[in-house]
Structure 1
C-alpha cells in the first residue's frame, strides 16, 4: 500500500512540473465618453421609436417573419445545440451508474492442463456462467478539469443566445428598411403624379393658345415633353417595387400576394422623432455581436484553464456489485453475490511537449478571441457613430429638400398668377413648372433616407433586447 501511495505521489509531482498556464491579458477596450454626432439634449425618445412601429404593414410582416423565418429558426436551433453541450458537460461531473447482464459459455481443452492430473481430479471442459451487475463510476475532478469544460459550454450557450438576438435584430431592421422604402415609393409616386397633372394642364393650355394663334406649337411640345419625362420616372418605380416585394418574400417566408396585402394597409401619419441619447459604454451590454464575442472569450478562457488542468493526475473511482452463478437456479443464492471497489490514478510522465503544445494552442485561441472581441466593440462603436451622423445628415438634407420643394412650388404658383395677369409670358410659366418637377420626389426620397437612417441607428445601438429564455 505504501508503495502504491508513493507511486501515486510521484506521478502527481511529475505532472505538475510544467508550471502555471500562460497569462493572456484582456484589458477592457477604451471607449470615448460620448458619441460625436449624438444630440446632447435629452430627446425623450425611446430606442424602439426608431422603427416604424406605427406602420401596420411593418407590424404584420415582422410578426410573420419572427414566426416562420428559417434564419431565425436556425439560430434558435443553435441555442438548443449549445444547451445540449452544456448539459452534457455538467453530466460529466456526476457519477455514472449502469447495469448489465450476461450469459457466457466456455469450453476448455483438457490437454492444456498437462498429460497427467492428480488422482480424482477431473476437468469440467464445458461450463456456462450467468451474471448480473450494477456498476458505478465517478471522476471526483479534484483539479477542476471537468468544471472548466462545463464553464466553457455554458459560455457558448450565452454566445448562441446573443447570436440569435443579432439575427432577430437584423431581420427586423431589414423588414423595417424595406417597408420604409415601399412607403417612400408610394410618396414618390404621388409626387410624380402631381408633376404629370401639372404638366398636362400646361400642355392643354398651350394647345388652346396654339389653336387661338397666340402661341407657337413649340410651347405645347415642351409641355408635353415634361409630362412624358415624369411618366418615364413613374414607370421606373415598378422595378423598385418588384425588388422590394421579392426581398420581403424572402424575409417573411410569405407569398407575394400576402406581402402586398400587408403593405396595402394605410399607415397613419408618423412624426419623425429625434434619435435617443446613448453612451458608448452601453454598446458593451446592448449589442448582440459584442455580447457574443464576450461569451466566446469567456469560453476560450475556460478552455485554456481546462487544458492547463489536464496536466494534473486524473482520479477514477469505480464500484460493481452483482451476481455470478453457473446455474440459473443458483443465481440468487447468497454465495453468488460478488463485488469490487477500485480507485485509479493516471498521469503523464513524459509526453515530450504534447500537453504544452495544447496549452500554447489554447492560449493562442484565447488571444484570438480577445482580439475578435475588441474588433466587435470598435465595429459597434463605428456603427453607432455612423448611425448618429447619418441621422443628423439625413435630417439636414430633409429640411433642405422640403424647403426647396416648397420654394419651387411657390415660384410656380406665382408664375402662373403673373401669367394670368399678363405680367409674364408662357415660357416663364413653363420654366417654373419644369424647375418644380421632381422637387416633391426629392423631398419624399429625403424623408425615406431619414427614416432609414433611424433604422440603421436602431440596429447599431443594439436593437431590441430580448430576455434570455
Structure 2
C-alpha cells in the first residue's frame, strides 16, 4: 500500500512537471551586414592591419611590454577570467556524484526512570552509552531533464565572454598606449617647429631694433616682431601642460613611475611615414572584434539559463547510498554486526508553486531578449566604428596634406620676401607680415599629421586589433 502511494505521488510529480511544456522559443536572427565599407581601399594597394601601430617606435614597444606585464586593467581582466573559470568548474562538478566521509563519537546519559517505575527481573539499563561510527556516503543527481547540463553550458559561455572581455581590455590598452606615443612624437615635432618660429621671430626682433635705432624703420616694426615672438613663446609654454598629461596617463596605464616612462620616451622614434590603410569586410568583424565575441557568448549563456530555468519544472531524481560502521565499543567497531548501510532513490518536483518557476522562466526569457539586443548593438557598434574609422582617415589625410602644403607655401613666401627685402625691393613690414602668416604653420601641419596617425589607431581598434605583433 505504501509503495503504491509513493508511486502515485511520483507519477503526479512527473505529470505536473511535464505538463508545463518546453521553454519559450525566442528568435535571435543574425543581424544583416552590409556588403562592404565605404572609403575602403583597393585590396591591391591596401596595407596590413598590424602596420597601423607604431611598431618601429622603441618607446611604444617598451611601454606596451610593461603595460601588458603589470597593468592594473590587465590584472583585473585576468581575475575575472579566473572567477568565470571557477564558476565553470563548479557547474561541471555539480553533474558528478558527491562523496562524503564522516566519523563520529557520541556519548549520552539516560535516566533509567524514564523507562518506567520498574523493569523485569534481570534487566538493567546502563545510563551511560558511547557510540563509535564512520561512514562513506554518495549522492548523485541524475539530471534526466538537463538542468545541470544547461547550467554548465551557461557557465562555459560566461567563461568565453570573460576571455573575450580580457582580450578587449588588452586591445584597448595597446591602442591607448599607441595614441599616447603618437601624441608624444607629435609634441616633439611641434616643439621643434615652434622653436624654429621663435628663432625666426627673434632674428626679426634684432633686425627691426637695429634698423629702428638707425632711423631706417619705425619702432612699430620692432613691436610687431616682438608680438610674433611672444606668440611663439606662448605656444611653446603650452606644450608643457600637454606633456604632463601624457606622462600622467602613461604612468596610469603602465603602472611604472614617471622617471621610467620619460626614459622610454627619450629614445628616438621610428618611421614617420603614414601606413597604408587595410581592406576588410564587415563580416570579418564578427570573428575579430572581442566585444562582439563576448556579446555572442553572453547570448549563448542566456539561452542556456533559459533552458535551465525551464528544466526546474520537471522532477529531480536523486540517488544516494551510504556505507558505514557503528559500534558501542572500540573493540566492536570492525565486527560484522557493526556494518551498516543504506541505498535510496528519491524523486521530487513542483506540484503547486503558485507561479514561482513560471516567473523565473519569464525572467530568463527577458534576459535572453536583452542579451540578443546587446549582441545586435555590439555588431552595429563595430560596423559604425569601422565605417567612421575609414572615413576619418580619408578626412585627416586630406587635412594633413593641405596643412603640409600650407606650411611649405608660407615658408616659401617668407623666404622670397626676405630676399626681396635684402635686395631693397620690399620694406620690412612685408617681411613681418610674411613671418606672421608663416608663424605656427609647421605646428599646424604637425598637429594634422598626428591626427592622421591617431585616426589609423582608431581604425585598428575598430577592426578588432587583429594582426598586432
Give TM-score scaled by structure 2 length. 0.96
1:191 aligns with 2:212: no
Which stretches in structure 1 are left out of the alignment for 5+ residues?
A: none
Change (3 A) 1:263 1:466: closer
Query: 1:275·1:454 contact (CA, 8 Å) conserved in 2?
Result: yes
Within a 5 Å distance, the mapping from 1:343-354 to structure 2 comes to 343-354=345-356
The Cα of 1:301 is off from its aligned counterpart by: 0.5
Report what 1:427 is aligned to: 429
1:322-341 to 2 correspondences below 5 Å:
322-341=324-343
Contact 1:284 1:290 in 2 (8 A): yes
Q: What is the deviation of 1:464?
A: 4.2
Q: What SS class does the counterpart of residue 280 from structure 1 fall into?
A: coil
Deviation of the 1:320 alpha carbon: 0.8
1:135 is aligned, of 118, 134, 137, to 137
Aligned 8 A contact 1:54 1:270 in 2: no
Q: Is the 8 A contact 1:324 1:331 kept in 2?
A: yes
How much does 1:118 deviate?
A: 4.0
Cα pair 2:250 2:261 within 8 Å, conserved:
yes
Q: CA deviation at 1:41?
A: 4.1
Instruction: State the match for 2:50 in structure 1.
Output: 48
Distance 1:378 1:73 in 2: 29
Give the distance between the partners of 2:57 and 2:399, measured in 1 at CA.
Answer: 23
| CA distance in structure 1 between the aligned counterparts of 2:467 and 2:301, rounded to whole angstroms | 22
Q: Which residue of 1 aligns with 2:78?
A: 76
Offset, 1:273: 1.1
Question: For residue 394 of structure 1, what is the aligned residue in structure 2?
Answer: 396
Do 1:286 and 1:465's aligned partners in 2 also have CA atoms closer than 8 Å? no
String of CA shifts for 1:140-166, please: whole Å, max 9, x gaps: 111111000000000010111011111
CA RMSD of aligned residues (A): 1.6
- Please list the CA deviations of residues 40-84 of structure 1 after superposition, one character each: whole Å capped at 9, or x if unmatched: 343342212111111111111111111111111011000000000
Equivalent position of 1:455 in the other structure = 457
2:412 aligns with: 410
How far apart are the structure 2 equivalents of 1:92 and 1:323? 28
Higher mean C-alpha displacement, 73-82 vs 128-137? 128-137
Superimposed CA distance per residue, residues 378-403 of structure 1 (whole angstroms, 9 cap, x where no aligned partner): 11111111111111110000000001
Report the more deviating stretch, 302-311 or 118-127. Answer: 118-127
Please name the residue that 1:177 is paired with: 179
What's the counterpart of residue 124 of structure 2?
Answer: 122
- Relative to structure 1, is the Cα distance of residues 71 and 61 closer, same or farther in structure 2, using a 3 angstrom cutoff? same
CA distance in 1 between counterparts of 2:297 and 2:223 reads: 69
Moved more, 400-409 or 377-386: 377-386
Deviates more, 1:332-341 or 1:357-366: 332-341
SS at match of 1:311: coil
Equivalent position SS for 2:283: helix
- Residues 94-138 of structure 1: CA deviation (Å, up to 9, x unaligned): 111121111112333333333444444333333211111111111
Residues 48 and 276 in structure 2, CA contact (< 8 A), matched pair in contact too: no
SS in 1 for 2:145: coil
Deviations 1:294-324 (A, max 9, x none): 1111111100000101111101111111111
Change in 2 beyond 3 A, CA 1:295/1:14 = same
1:235-275 CA distances to partner (integer Å, 9 max, x unpaired)?
Answer: 11111111111111111111111111110000133320121
Distance in 2 of aligned mates of 1:192 and 1:284 = 45
* Structure 2 equivalent of residue 12 of structure 1: 14
* TM-score, length basis structure 1: 0.96
Q: Match of 1:104, SS? A: strand
* Counterpart-to-counterpart distance in 1, 2:180 and 2:122: 98
C-alpha distance in 2, partners of 1:74/1:210? 67
Decide whether the 8 Å contact of 1:101 with 1:131 is kept in 2.
Answer: yes
1:280 aligns with 2:282: yes
Distance 2:22 2:115 in 1: 57
Answer whether contact 1:42 1:276 (CA < 8 A) is retained.
no
> Which residue does 1:309 correspond to in 2?
311
Residues 166, 289 of structure 1: 8 Å contact kept? yes
Aligned residues: 467
1:315-374 alpha-carbon deviations (Å, 9 max, x no partner): 111111111111100111122111111111111111111111110011011111111111
C-alpha separation in 2, matches of 1:59 and 1:308 = 51
Partner of residue 221, structure 1 = 223
Cα distance in structure 2, aligned partners of 1:43 and 1:262: 34
| 1:165–1:466 Cα contact (<8 Å) kept | no
The structure 2 residue matched to 1:363, chosen from 365, 369, 374, is 365
Q: Provide structure 2 residue ranges, at least 5 long, that are not aligned to the other structure.
A: none
Structure 2 match to 1:374: 376
Say if 1:42 and 1:277, in contact at 8 Å, map to a contact too.
Answer: no
How far 1:412 sits from its partner (Å)?
1.1
> In the aligned structure 2, how far is the partner of 1:15 from the partner of 1:268?
69
* Pairwise CA distance, 1:224: 2.1
| Whole-angstrom distance in 2 between the partners of 1:70 and 1:465 | 24
2:301 is aligned, of 299, 302, 306, to 299
Partner of 2:94: 92
Matched with 2:68 is 66
More deviation, 446-455/6-15: 6-15
Could you say which residue in structure 1 is the equivalent of 2:320? 318
